[in-house]
Chain A
Amino acid sequence: MTMLNRPLGLSRAGIGYLLILPSLCLIGVFFLVPLCMTVWMSLHDWPLFGTSTLVGLKNYAELLHDESFWRSLLFTTKYTLIVTPALFLASFVLALLVRRPGRWSAFFRTAYFLPVVIGLSTASLLWVWLFNDQVGLFSALLMQLHVVDEPVQWFDTGTTSLLSVVWMVTWKMTGFNMVLMLVGMQAIPKDLYEAANIDGVSPWQQLRYITVPLMRQTFALALTISVIGSYLAFDQFYIMTHGGPNNGTVSIVYWIYRAAFTYTRVGYASAMSVVLLLILLLMSTLQLYLLRSDDR
């Protein structure tokens, strides 16, 4: 290799490092440095206002006995277990419906994807008003249709509040997962379906024995993204339920937020963030391991 195709006289490895330098900078500044700072803060009694003091692992020890932390973790798990299958099934079915190029498929693909481009906070606010008992669309519609006599209280109990949020998130995020599924489906060689058709394999059998097995990696990716996103849920609960009623819908990130900004305990909130990160790392690793492809 001559000096001409070796910029600045760097070795091959040096060029490689140079090329990944921008990404390294971004990861360093926006992930590694904040992560190190979070760990450092978690070892302190760090108020939102005022000076901090080093307390070692005290925040972590307190966390073990913090009922609110474990309750919110349990609630977030419950939310994840409901919203993930809902998203997964809805997006898979939609992807199956729009996967073949046709007159209307582009229109429907766009229509299903449209909610994804709205910010989660905006979507949450929109749905707060749709659910509003005084001026909301849903209650008015049900009353017009004589399904109910008086406005529906969508956020009356913990369960109805949770399901209302799940409904909104499914509407908001299905389009994104649908695109992932579509990419996975389009990556399956067409020859397989052609051969199956010649052999007289039914569409249901094609789905079961060709589509689903060959989309394992796509499923793994969609599930990982969905589970991580669900465990990090904040906006939808902050805006739609405010954690209520009676603390019934406080997600783990919402509890971290409250610890930091309502109770002004930034150090303690940092400790919870570190633990959540470890939990997510563990879960993602496990998920990817279980859904790993055999053709390595």
Chain B
Amino acid sequence: MNKRFFTGALSFASLACALAGFSNRALAQDTGTLSFWVRASDAAIATPLVKAWNGSHKAQVALTVIPNDDFMTKFGTASASGAVPDILAVDLIFVPQLAQAGQLSDITEQAKALPFYNSLSKAHMHLATTDAHHYAVPFSAESSFLVYNKGLFKKAGIDTNAPPKDWASIEAYAKRITALGDGNKGFYFSGACGGCNIFTFAPYIWASGGDVLSADGRSASIDSPQVRDALGFYRRMWTAKLVPQGAKNDAGQNFINAFFTGKVGMVGTGAFAIGLLKKDHPEIDFGVTPLPGAKGGQASFAGGDSIAIPKGSKAKAAAWEFIAWCLSDSVQIESFAKNGSIPVRSDLGAAYVNGDPRLQVAFDAMANGRAPYSVKFNQLINDGNGPWNSMIQEAVFGDGVDAAVKKAQAKFSETITAAK
């Protein structure tokens, strides 16, 4: 009797769950609504974009905004339960991992049929390609560069039209700004934020001829003179107290907030900051210049999101229709460029720049930017306790560069070669 009862109860519970799942799915199909997931940093672009689409198309798109740090967690659990969205805009850096795990639909044919195929952001397309097949196309773009406070430059007697072109000039300017006193500091970076530092610190390495990972992401090149020199450059500024003390433990909260205080001379940041500074901080007169190498040169991280169709999408044709619309001239110009977002097509720069030389720097940085290819990016770089962040912590704020670099090289290699 008891056995029969418990079996019956469990069957009832399972049936209830199955029915609940079935009714949800059936509802989505009946209403013809496409589910679209984006991370929070894209919400400002995606929200009006979806509104514009829904106002002009029969098939509606339902937007879900997910906190940046939880995006892969949420998609992973959705994938495991077979409840993936129809369209996914994901940090371009995760596309190799998702593509290799068989999570994304092959959209090579559709992408190649686009009339502006060759103008699509090269960094995005590089990471979206596995074995000559495309699994995503660009959705949003974000480049990195150095932003500097012209007001503080003037006070420190620095020519505002001669921004730093190498590390020595950054250090020299930072010293002069810090010497102003009154809480002013020459430089800032988020010392405990792996993602922030691949965005703004790695370009110093690239511009000096070094790298963090090999082109295919299968080996690490951390133990190199360029990485050591770049870490030494940051360490010198830290030990000379040219950087606010809070930098050490900043996991990204003050990534740009520190510059907004008006008491920081220079900070590596992204194109989003230009829009924020213009809109919310008109009191700060700022300039923009590329991130330089040790003796000159320049480099940028080419970031942003790629848009893809998960394998489990129930409406692939409609999903592609939406994606192609997002990439069209009118949307890229009206919804992206005119709202201060870098278009993901290199042929539409003029609409974005619109005569502002600072935006030209951001656009050029994107066109020439790069992004590391790795299927273990999260473990290596983004993890706050991973090898990239631990290396920066130890090298810049801790015992020194050499031991930190050796340890990081070993940890990178171990993680890359691990089976899973």
Contacts and interface: CB of A to CB of B under 8 A. Distances in A.
Contacts of A29: 13, 16-17
Contact of A25 (B13, B254, B261): B13
Interface of B: 5-6, 9-10, 12-13, 16-17, 72-73, 76, 79-80, 97-98, 101-103, 192, 244-246, 248-249, 251, 253-254, 257-258, 261, 378-379, 382-386, 390, 393-394, 398, 420
Interface stretch (A75-83, A193-201, A219-227, A258-266): A258-266
A244 to B, nearest CB: 6
A48 interface: yes
Given A49-B98, A50-B102, A262-B378, 19 more contacts: A24-B9, A25-B13, A29-B17, A45-B420, A47-B420, A48-B72, A48-B80, A49-B101, A132-B246, A132-B253, A132-B254, A153-B245, A156-B249, A242-B192, A244-B249, A261-B73, A261-B76, A262-B379, A266-B80
Contacts of B420: 45, 47, 263-265
Nearest to B418: A263
A262 B383 contact: yes
Interface in A249-280: 250, 258, 261-266
Main secondary structure of the interface of A (DSSP, over half): loop
Given A29-B13, A244-B192, A262-B378, A153 B76 contact: no
Contacts, number: 99
Interface string A15-30: 0010001001100110
Contacts of A17: 5
Interface string A219-241: 00000000000000000000000
A17 B3 CA distance: 12
Contacts of B98: 49
A184 interface: no
Nearest to B69: A238
B9 A49 contact: no
B358 to A, nearest CB: 24
A44 B4 CA distance: 31
Given A49-B102, A134-B261, A243 B385 contact: yes
B379 A25 contact: no
Interface residues of A, number: 37
Given A17-B5, A24-B9, A245-B249, A258 B385 contact: yes
A45 B420 CA distance: 9
B13 A28 contact: yes
B97 A49 contact: yes
A271 B257 CA distance: 41
16 contacts: A17-B5, A28-B13, A29-B16, A33-B13, A49-B97, A49-B98, A49-B103, A132-B253, A133-B246, A156-B248, A242-B385, A245-B192, A250-B385, A262-B378, A262-B379, A262-B383
A52 B98 CA distance: 16
Contacts of A112: none
A247 B385 contact: yes
Contacts of A24: 6, 9
B249 A25 contact: no
B10 A261 contact: no
A128 interface: yes
Given A29-B13, A261-B73, A262-B378, A242 B251 contact: yes
Given A47-B101, A134-B246, A156-B249, A25 B12 contact: yes
B75 to A, nearest CB: 9
A206 to B, nearest CB: 48
Contact of A49 (B10, B76, B251, B394): B76
A50 B101 contact: yes
Interface string A112-151: 0000000000000000110011110000000000000011
